[in-house]
Amino acid sequence: MATTVIGVRQERPARFLASTNGKKVVMAVTGVILFVFVIGHMLGNLQIYEGPEKINAYGRFLKSIPELLWSVRSVLLLAVCLHIWASIGLALKNNAARPKGYSRKKNVASSYAARTMYWSGPILFCFIVYHLLHFTVGIVHPGSDFKEGDVYHNMVSSFSVWYVSAWYIFSMILLGLHVGHGASSFVQSLGFNHPRHTPVIKKAAAVFAFLLIAGFISIPISVLAGLVR
């Protein structure tokens, strides 16, 4: 009897994670983790406007606590993997529910961000890999040189290359759309749909997405314009 009870308890989490609601919960939780990181990362990057000493000191501070740094990286890596796993699972379930597809696709009720969620995710994943090789490891630094520990130099020299800035700007626009739609979807997934509050939530998500995009892309634009040199 005890073995049966334990088996049932073990099966319930597995069944929940395999369900659509379970995958939505995984998407929501990992999305919040990545959401918080993105905000912190943007605020850290914006210190470039305070000069080399400020942002280089910030970089040294992060590396001065390797235990914390690698713990955060491990959590983020796990969150990214689970987020991708849940999104693929939901996409497969949606396709299985509509095996023949629509004879005429209608996008009237969906936003551009919603329609691009599934393909913007893989692009952002490619950007993350490139971003780590570019600024963290320093082995991919096209058109410029990489100086270990000199965050200011690495950012300015990189964004002085127009195609690097273009790739970064494009990716940050996708990130803003992805996060903005994800934030509004997360709230609705919790059952907070309301004729009065839902439009406000969607507008707030759109404003946040705009601020996120503006914050990130302001750096390469400022470098290209010669405002940061």
Rounded CA-CA distance 216/212 in Å is 6
Task: Answer whether 206's CB lies under 8 Å from 180's CB.
Answer: yes
pLDDT of residue 125: 86
| Contact (CB, 8 A) for 217 and 173 | yes
Residue 109 pLDDT: 41
Higher model confidence: residue 2 or residue 115?
Answer: 115
Average pLDDT, the chain: 81
pLDDT score of 64 more than 80 = yes
* Predicted model pTM: 0.79
| Tally of CA atoms within 13 A in the half-sphere of 156 that contains its CB | 17
d(CA 98, CA 124): 27
For helices 20-45 and 66-97, the axis angle rounded to 10 degrees is: 140
Residue 229 has pLDDT above 90, yes or no: no
More confident residue, 188 or 105: 188
Structure confidence at residue 153 as a pLDDT band (50, 70, 90): very high
d(CA 97, CA 103): 15
